[in-house]
Structure 1
């Protein structure tokens, strides 16, 4: 059965919020992104994270081929610039809207916003629409959460649940010597790794802020190093995933065009041993991808490169080092700081929402029955 979305007028409507008129525009399909490209790009510098910027969404839509399922809401105020919700329509039995790549990439996502009024109008426009909206992982400090609660009051239901936190590290001048922050045992391990690396060959750290012309060659080497590690063995390296790999290459080239791309490489004996793919935004270092060649495993090349990367970030007076992803054993020796994230789901009063909530309730009941059956089966043995 083919899903039919309610017809929407392409012309902008006006909502009265406070004393300022805020216009709301609805767009759909592949052309929608090109129509708002300049507007969104002008908003990028105001965003808290790179994942809210136009480059992230544009790159994912290009790599995944999901542009035809794009649904865009734009709210504009003469006082507060613009708010943008560029969401991908996911069909199936429980259709919904989600930010581009939210599930596949797993990073915290959010709406692009210029101020509280346009954000409120954006959420109100979503509440008037037919589809549930899911943000699988959003920073718990985001004003978007309160804006959704306010917009869906008497118009629907908002659910907020736990999600995995994001590790980060607050930088200061002391991080120009990262080793000082390690325990004595960890410092000893680091020195041992350095000596082992030096026995294997000349150790060279290189940090690149490549131009668009230089970026392709640097990315080729970074991709090769990542594929030479466990990710390559398990088939999860960027080189082996046609969609994710294309996304990161497309995004990195676009980031190089903006001057925010950062690629770090460790070479031992002239061979690539470890890599990092990152961007700098809002005075913060955002680590997107890491990898190392397993043939250098005993030299712990990933840890050696991380140490030098932290040193460089501190000497460049960056505020934080954002590890993204989730808490992992290799991060814990360096920091215990975490940014809490939550999952946010908003259901307007619509048949699509009733269907989604009914299926979720049925799934919970089924899980409960399965647990009870397993408990009864074990107790009879």
Structure 2
């Protein structure tokens, strides 16, 4: 489900393709149940303009999620939640990089060690981690774009976004842009952001012509060492996606969900809500029928 699924009739959060998390700015724990109902009552007073509310991706552990969901239902909205993506993360609990590295899967540790040995035998490689504005950052941003074009990844839908994010994050002290160069040429890049004790792995890519050097794994280990031992973060977060390699680096997984709410007191809200819940019920019935059919064939066989 996307915000675009409901068109211009939906009130949506300021999130998009690049968003790892959406939520309030500030602490909402002091808001009472009546405060939440008042907020939703005011939203419903404007439901002719926005008969549908669609917010994502949300942290289910934040009070914002459960209290908003309850208040919307109390004020008469039809509500539902939906899966956005899995989120892999690491809680450090004061551990050093050496402590963290010791617990990694043996295969991953061997991959990193072999990659470093191959790079060292070449005699000409280096890793730079950029965190400040300036000419060096501009070269690193150009390196990032170059590697991304040579990687397996699809072109960015908004090419100016990542360079702009790097410059803004550098100006605010959040940026950790890692570049691995081999014989002077960038072959792996990773964009990490560090803020409020969290390191967020935002974008990564490596040149697909050098997989034998494991440049992505070697660079990940270097950045991990930096944020753990130098930045002293308490959490490292892969943000979006259930890519298989992430579970090797991170031991924990949580899910980011969305909230959708329909005002049945409006024609558009009633119509969209009916379609949504009828479609959901239909998919469940179809899945149950398929499961029963499979079970019957197994019993006959």
Specify the TM-score bucket, using the shorter chain as the normaliser. 0.7 to 0.9
Aligned positions of 1:326-365 closer than 5 A: 326-348=241-263, 349-364=265-280
1:194 alignment partner in structure 2: 116
Question: Which among 236, 240, 246 is matched to residue 160 of structure 2?
Answer: 246
Per-residue deviation, 1:143: 1.5
Give the Cα separation in 2 of the matches to 1:213 and 1:268.
20
Per-residue deviation, 1:178: 4.7
Per-residue deviation, 1:123: 4.3
1:324 alignment partner in structure 2: 239
Per-residue deviation, 1:277: 0.9
Per-residue deviation, 1:270: 1.3
Give the Cα separation in 2 of the matches to 1:99 and 1:358.
23
**Residues 101 and 136 of structure 1: CA distance in aligned 2, closer, same or farther (over 3 Å):** closer
Question: Which among 294, 297, 301 is matched to residue 211 of structure 2?
Answer: 297
1:108 alignment partner in structure 2: 21
Q: 8 Å contact 1:94–1:356 — kept in the other structure?
A: no
**Residues 313 and 123 of structure 1: CA distance in aligned 2, closer, same or farther (over 3 Å):** farther
Aligned positions of 1:259-274 closer than 5 A: 259-274=173-188
1:99 pairs with 2:13: yes
Question: Which among 67, 86, 91 is matched to residue 165 of structure 1?
Answer: 86
Give the Cα separation in 1 of the matches to 2:259 and 2:79.
7
1:308 alignment partner in structure 2: 222
**Residues 141 and 219 of structure 1: CA distance in aligned 2, closer, same or farther (over 3 Å):** same
Gap runs ≥5 in structure 1: 1-87
**Residues 206 and 144 of structure 1: CA distance in aligned 2, closer, same or farther (over 3 Å):** same
- Deviation digits for residues 71-124 of structure 1 (CA, Å, limit 9, x no counterpart): xxxxxxxxxxxxxxxxx985866821222343x235222233443439835444
Q: 8 Å contact 1:127–1:151 — kept in the other structure?
A: no
Per-residue deviation, 1:375: 9.2
Give the Cα separation in 2 of the matches to 1:339 and 1:101.
19
Give the Cα separation in 2 of the matches to 1:96 and 1:337.
33
1:125 alignment partner in structure 2: 42
**Residues 141 and 212 of structure 1: CA distance in aligned 2, closer, same or farther (over 3 Å):** farther
Per-residue deviation, 1:367: 4.4
Q: 8 Å contact 1:212–1:256 — kept in the other structure?
A: no
Gap runs ≥5 in structure 2: none
**Residues 170 and 254 of structure 1: CA distance in aligned 2, closer, same or farther (over 3 Å):** same
Q: 8 Å contact 1:178–1:310 — kept in the other structure?
A: no
3-state SS of the aligned residue for 1:161?
strand
1:10 alignment partner in structure 2: none
RMSD value over aligned CA atoms? Answer: 3.1
Per-residue deviation, 1:358: 2.0
Q: What TM-score comes out, normalization by structure 2 length? A: 0.81
1:179 pairs with 2:101: yes
Q: 8 Å contact 1:148–1:346 — kept in the other structure?
A: no
**Residues 97 and 373 of structure 1: CA distance in aligned 2, closer, same or farther (over 3 Å):** same
Give the Cα separation in 1 of the matches to 2:43 and 2:256.
22
Q: 8 Å contact 2:148–2:205 — kept in the other structure?
A: yes
3-state SS of the aligned residue for 1:295?
coil
State the number of aligned residues.
Answer: 283
Per-residue deviation, 1:169: 1.0
Q: 8 Å contact 1:210–1:256 — kept in the other structure?
A: yes
3-state SS of the aligned residue for 1:117?
coil
1:275 alignment partner in structure 2: 189
